[in-house]
Every structure is written in C-alpha cells, then in structure tokens.
Amino acid sequence: MTLHLYDSATRQIRPLDPVVPGRVGIYHCGLTVQGPPHIGHIRKEVVFDVLRRWLERAGYDVRIVANVTDIDDKIIAKGAENGEPWFAVAYRNERALHAAYEVLGCEPPTYEPRATGHVPEMIEMMETLIARGHAYPAQDGSGDVYFDVRSWPPYGELSNQSIEDMQEAPDAPADGKRDPRDFALWKGRKEEEPESASWPTPWGRGRPGWHLECSAMAAKYLGPEFDIHGGGLDLRFPHHENELAQSRAAGQPFARVWMHNAMLNLGSSKMSKSVGNTLTVAEVVKRVPAIALRYYLVAAHYRSIIEYSEESLAEAATTMSRIEGFVTRAASLVGRCDGGEIPPAFAEAMDDDLSVPAALAVVQDTVASGQRLLGHGASDDLRAALGSVRAMLDVLGLDPLDPHWAGSRDHGPAQAALGALVQQLLDHRAEARAAKDFAAADRIRDQLTTAGIAIEDTPQGARWTVKEDR
C-alpha cells in the first residue's frame, strides 16, 4: 500500500504523492521558546518522529524542518520580567526542547532554523508581497508591515472560514491597518523594547511576525513546493492559514498536504503555558520511565484528543512494561533477533493515516502469541515473534533493546531491570490464575507486596507501582 494521510485542507484522506519521487519534505512548526516544553508540545514531535520512521523504513529520503521561534512578544516580556536578555530566555528553553527530544527518543530535525537567523529571507518575501499588491507598510509610522487579506480571495480556505466571519487579528492595533483582519508580517520596534530585538528594514527597525518566519524558512530549506506541513490543530487558524495565504500570494505552491495532530488536554482544557495547566517533559519522566511516556503519547491516533490523567499514564507504563518484559525474556532465550519482519496488518494500519492504535493491536497480539511460547524455551517461532515485535516497536520508537533506551533512561538501568523482573512475576501469576492455582498466584502477590510493589488488577491486566511509604 501507499501511505495515505488525512489532509486538513481538503478534509480527505489522500495518498502521499511526493514532489520529488523517493523524497519527502516535511515542515512542522516548532516551539516558541518562552518556556520549556510540556507533554502537549512534545506530542507533535513524537507524531512526526513516527511518521519519519515509517517513511524511512519504506525507503524514502526524509527531510524534516522544524523551526525555533526565538523572538516574540512573550520572550521579550519574559526577559524583562526575569531581568535577563531575551535571547538568554530563548536559548535556555531551546536547550530544554532538545533535551525533551533526546529523552523521548525523537530524532532531531534535519534542519532546525531559528527565526532570528532568517531575517533577510523575510525581508525579501515582504518586498515580493508588496510588489504583488498583497502587503503594505503601515501609514502610521510604526514600521509595521501587514498582509492585505482582502487582496487574496482564497483567504480562509484552510480553516474553511469566510473573511466576514473572522475576528480582527490581535497581533497589532487596527489603527495602521486597511482591514482589522490584516495580520502583521513585520512588527516595528517599540520604544520600550531592547534594540537587540530588532533588525533594520526598508520600513524601519523591527522584528518578524510569527507567520512570516515559517513561510520564509520552509521555502529556504524545502523549496517553494513541498510535501507535508504539520503542527498542532490549534495552529490551523490563524497561523497556518496565514502561512498558506502569504506563501501562495508570493507565488509559491507551498504544502501539498496539511497534517494536524489533536491536542493533549488537562482537565478538558488544552495544555497551555498561558493557563498554567502544563506538565513539563522533565517532570513527567521523574514519575514514569521515558519510554512509557512515549508509549502514552504514541498510543492514541494522532488526530484524537488525549485527555491526560495520572491513571491513564500509569496504565500506559504498565502496558509498556509488559511488552518490555516479553522482549527481555525472549531475547535472553533466542538472542536479540535484529531485523525482523513487519506483519502485513501492521503495515496496513500505518499506511492508513498512521493508525497507530490498530498497529499496536498487532504488536499486542504478537506479544501474546510470543508469551505462550516462552515456557517452551528457544524456538524458531519465538525467534520470529521477537523479531516482528522489535521491528514494529522500532517504527514506533519503542524498542526497549534500542541503545537509546538502554543508555538514556532517566530511571536508569536499575529501573529497567526492576520492571522486567516484576513483569516476569506478574506473567507467572497470570498463568497460575488461568490454571486456577490461586494459592500460587497469592504467593506471588505476597512476594511482590513484601518487596514494596503494589498490585492493582484491572480489565487490561495487572498494574504495578512502587509503594511510596516504605
């Protein structure tokens, strides 16, 4: 099968048809680095990491560009609040983003351009838009430059809105705009802002608007037309709508497919720094192994909302521990089995708009089959099951035998060993219960309780945690 993806622009699942055969160019909007990344941010990174892994396994040369927005109102305000340069705030949080990539096993982007490093490209794009009649410098002397939304009739096509139904753009006062819905390509420097946060242009000193920087950098690194533009669903309007309008108005075909992942919610609200309901990656991986957090972020379909809860995170950790237990025990019997075969059902699920839940069902079925083989010792069937499980987990970035997880777990090798041993005992307990040997099952539970392991039986299987009051 050919990979099919849901295109947010056409609202249809379409086959991927690369601009250049054999190569896939992807741009997804990176972090505005006014703070460290929370797990809502990093969900997008994990989604596109899985996409990349699947495309590369299919033989594509994948080029991913994810920008860093290292200059904006919030970064400047945070620097002033902390009494430090704005660029110190940006750099500190950019490093936190890289640490989150690393801890969750995400390959870094092919290119990761900073907005501040691409001002010449932005100025050139503004000059093109002005010459084509789609942008204008403000007449109030502010140094702002605006995109004229009424000059571009398709404006609103990505979010399926008409201009008349839109609210005014909040990025600058309406005084210097022809229409209050015109958005800022460039923001003139204000007296109270540091001069270091501005660059000279034909219209005065200032800094880029958020939308302009992405269009300029996507074109520089991927060309005027590329395959996939992605990001969180909350960016579809106004950010991606504005990118699409200004790029096409400048004569660029831009993205063939728009791919948006749904939000990760906390208390039914989008996880957001502005409302304080955030869980940073660095904090969450103190409570569960990083591989379990990655499993949690991968397990739902990328277009489905995740409603965060500690219970669902713990359940993901238990499931991942069970998979890891099988891989560890099987590998001890038959070796690592690198280079296994991908089952057709897994491939079919992944080609169907990255249907990871269906793909994980194949993983679980194969693990269950492999568990039944463990009691018979080494065999060709066990070797094939382990190879297939590892091949599928590799696509999802969840192979516990990958050197990344062996060397970079925040919980360390001791936690990995504990998880494997506990899971082995839980598997024996499950076998005893299935055989109605309840005395043996109770003995195993008592052993774990004495060791400080709390067991909770659920419809999905036994969950375990280390008791905190020991």
- Report whether 321 contacts 419 (CB < 8 A): yes
- Report whether 68 contacts 87 (CB < 8 A): no
Q: Tell me the C-alpha distance between 409 and 162, whole Å.
A: 49
How many other C-beta atoms lie within 10 A of the C-beta of residue 142?
21
Successive 10-residue mean pLDDT values, the chain, 470 residues:
94 97 96 92 96 97 97 95 96 95 95 97 98 95 95 97 92 88 95 95 94 97 98 96 98 98 81 62 91 97 95 94 94 92 97 98 97 92 97 98 72 59 85 90 89 75 62
Q: Is residue 6 part of a domain?
A: no
Q: Are residues 429 and 398 in the same domain?
A: no
Nearest 5°: the CA angle 114, 60, 261 is 55
pLDDT at 287: 87
Q: Is residue 283 part of a domain?
A: no
Q: Are residues 93 and 225 in the same domain?
A: yes
- Report whether 178 contacts 139 (CB < 8 A): no
pLDDT at 273: 55
The number of folded domains in the chain is 3
The single-letter code of the amino acid at 111 is Y
Q: Are residues 372 and 458 in the same domain?
A: no
Q: Are residues 240 and 367 in the same domain?
A: no
Q: Are residues 394 and 417 in the same domain?
A: no
pLDDT at 411: 44
Q: Tell me the C-alpha distance between 216 and 104, whole Å.
A: 29
DSSP H/E element including 168: none
pLDDT at 407: 52
Question: By residue range, what is the domain housing residue 391?
Answer: 309-408
Q: Is residue 326 part of a domain?
A: yes
The CATH number of the domain where 341 resides is what? 1.20.120
Q: Tell me the C-alpha distance between 146 and 174, whole Å.
A: 11
Q: Tell me the C-alpha distance between 88 and 84, whole Å.
A: 7
Q: Is residue 381 part of a domain?
A: yes
Tokens 């970079």 label which residue? 408
pLDDT at 268: 59
Q: Are residues 65 and 180 in the same domain?
A: yes
Q: Are residues 207 and 327 in the same domain?
A: no
Name the token pair of 453: 């392991």
Nearest CA to 44 among 353, 386, 302? 302
Q: Are residues 81 and 184 in the same domain?
A: yes
Domain boundary among 266, 287, 318: 266
Strand order in the sheet with 306-308: 269-270, 264-266, 306-308
Domain boundary among 213, 245, 266: 266
Q: Are residues 40 and 121 in the same domain?
A: yes
DSSP H/E element including 254: strand 254-261
Q: Is residue 82 part of a domain?
A: yes
Q: Are residues 218 and 144 in the same domain?
A: yes
pLDDT at 241: 97
Q: Is residue 11 part of a domain?
A: no
Helices in 335-437 by DSSP H: which ranges? 344-351, 356-374, 380-396, 403-408, 412-434
The CATH number of the domain where 226 resides is what? 3.40.50.620
Q: Is residue 286 part of a domain?
A: no
Q: Is residue 296 part of a domain?
A: no
Helices in 104-158 by DSSP H: which ranges? 119-131
Q: Are residues 225 and 321 in the same domain?
A: no
Q: Are residues 38 and 167 in the same domain?
A: yes
Rounded to the nearest 5 percent, the helix, strand and coil shares of the chain are 50, 15, 35
The single-letter code of the amino acid at 377 is G
Domain boundary among 370, 386, 408: 408
Q: Cβ contacts of residue 131 below 8 Å, gap of 6+?
A: none
Helical pair 310-334 and 356-374, crossing angle rounded to 10 deg: 50
